[in-house]
Amino acid sequence: MGDGLIDVGALADIPPQGARVVKTAAGCVAVFRTADDRVFALDDRCPHKGGPLSEGIVHGTRVTCPLHNWVFDLATGEAQGADEGRVATHAVTVAGGRILIDAALLARRAVA
């Protein structure tokens, strides 16, 4: 494990097609698990009107915002279809069943 990574919990704690919210100095980050056990981390704030993306529906590698149904690509954070906007994404990896996020990135943004 590198120095810049923080352990934000076990993969097993997030159900497939579910999410968990991690509170960081830079705000809340939503960590998503797909049906095929891939993990993505995005800001838990929809760029449309601030909806909690962690409460959205995960389908494939996308999530649908629970408020007005905008759809975002979990890998890029880009809004899909006609909607325009982007959610910040965070480097995330899984090692030994633990989910690790790049803490340095979060810290840099906290002081920006």
Kindly list the residues in this chain that would bind ligand FES in the complex (CB under 6 A): 46, 48-51, 65, 67-68, 70
Minimum CB separation of residue 81 from ligand FES in Å reads: 12
Minimum CB separation of residue 21 from ligand FES in Å reads: 16
Query: Residue 29 or 46: which CB sits closer to ligand FES?
Result: 46
DSSP per position, 36-94: TS-EEEEESS-TTT---GGGSEEETTEEE-TTT--EEETTT-BBPTT---B--EE-EEE
**Phi, psi of 11, rounded to the nearest 5 degrees:** -55, -40
Residue identified by tokens 């494939």 is 60
Minimum CB separation of residue 72 from ligand FES in Å reads: 9
Q: How many CB atoms lie within 10 A of CB 48?
A: 17
- SS3 assignment, position 7: strand
Query: Residue 56 or 100: which CB sits closer to ligand FES?
Result: 56
Query: Residue 88 or 107: which CB sits closer to ligand FES?
Result: 88
Query: Residue 13 or 83: which CB sits closer to ligand FES?
Result: 83
